[in-house]
Every structure is written in structure tokens, then in C-alpha cells.
Amino acid sequence: MRHEGGYSADTRVRWPEFLPWIVALAGFFLLPEYLSLGARILVYILYALSLDLILGYAGIITLGQSAYFGLGAYVAGILAAKAGITDPLVQLAAAGAAGALLGIGTAMVYPTLLAAIGDVAAPAWRASSVGVYRLWRDLGYALGALLAGVTADVVGLAGAMWVIAAITSASGLVAAVRLRETLRHATV
């Protein structure tokens, strides 16, 4: 059954939808020494996703706010450890300034990404497409942190930064190739 929005209402499960479960089961049987680590990772992922669904589904709060808390903690820690500044008010002001810079950068990027998703989605599926985008974005927070940590352990911090830069660049290239401009310019 087709809808006017262009998506299918077919409820059958296709084989690619089984792939994550197959990988998880294979890991369960082929890597039994990592079951504790795998269970812990899954608990953290489920926690992150459920927290976003409970508190962030209506846009009240998302896991993005944790970046501001983390940045503030890093700024305060660096000021105390490296610069010897232990005054809490100075640390709070510096953390607030760093958070403001991060907020300005986020404000320049995030609405543009949401607009791009809404622009290319069919009108009947637009709200759902933004929800799917947010799901994958938030899952990227958890998986990105795991990938960065494992990569830093294997090749060092500089190598992890290069891997993250390569993945981000590849993502931008995929978007540049796959997404098409939808604005039609008027001919004069």
C-alpha cells in the first residue's frame, strides 16, 4: 500500500533489519570473553536512547546537553590542574564562556541540519524523518564515544582524532553526493 508521501506502509521485516541482531548473536557465541563488556555497552546505549525518548522526544532536553556539562567540567579541571586557578567563580565563568562558544557553534549547525532533513523529506513523512534523524544522531553520540575511546587506546589520541576527522569528512562527502538541492530558482 502506497501513501501520497511516497513511503510504503508495508510492515514486513526485510533482511537488512535482521543484520544488527545477527551480528549481536554472532558476537555472543564467537566472543564469550567480551560478554561483560558487550552487556555494559548495550546497557549504556539503551540508557542513552531511553533517556532521550523519555525527556527529549518533545524537544525538552536531549543528550546534547551533556556536552555542555562535560565541557564545563573539562574547563574547570584544566584551570585547576594546569593553571592553578581554584576559585569556583572564575572556573564557573570560564566554563560558561566555553559553553557559550559551543552553543554558538551548535546554533549555526544544528538548525541547518534539521532544515536539510525536513527539506528533502516528503511532507507526509517529514515529522517522522526528523525523529529518525534524531535517533541516529543520538546513537552516534554513544557509538562515536565508544569508537573514539577504542581507537585512542589502540593508536593514541592523535590517531583517534584523525579517524574522527576522516569519518566526519566521509559523512560530508556522502551528503554532498546524495542530497540534492530542492530550491528551484525562478527564471527571469
pLDDT tens for each residue of 64-78: 677 777 888 889 989
Q: Is residue 72 part of a domain?
A: yes
pLDDT band, residue 155 (cuts 50/70/90):
very high
CB 90 within 8 A of CB 74: no
**Residue 186: predicted pLDDT:** 59
Q: Is residue 54 over pLDDT 70?
A: no
Give 128-136's long-range contacts (Cβ < 8 A, gap of 24+). Answer: 131/57, 134/52, 134/56, 134/62, 135/49
Q: Is residue 173 part of a domain?
A: no
**Residue 115: predicted pLDDT:** 82
Query: Which residues lie closer than 8 Å to 123 by C-beta, 6 or more apart?
Result: 5
Q: Is residue 23 part of a domain?
A: no
pLDDT band, residue 36 (cuts 50/70/90):
confident
Q: Is residue 102 part of a domain?
A: yes
Q: Is residue 5 over pLDDT 70?
A: no
Q: Quick one: DSSP state of residue 107?
A: H
Return the residue matching grid coordinates 555494559: 40
- Strand, helix or coil at 60? coil
Name which of 93, 66, 65 is nearest 79 in CA terms: 93
Percent of the chain with pLDDT over 90: 13
Q: Is residue 181 part of a domain?
A: no
Mean pLDDT, rounded, of the chain: 79
The total number of structural domains in the chain stands at 1
Q: What is the mean pLDDT of residues 101-105?
A: 85
Q: Is residue 130 part of a domain?
A: no
Structural domain of 90: 63-120
- Cβ burial, residue 15 (10 Å; 0-12/13-18/19+): exposed
Q: Is residue 85 part of a domain?
A: yes
Q: Is residue 113 part of a domain?
A: yes
pLDDT band, residue 82 (cuts 50/70/90):
very high
Most confident of 4-8, 26-30, 115-119, 151-155: 151-155
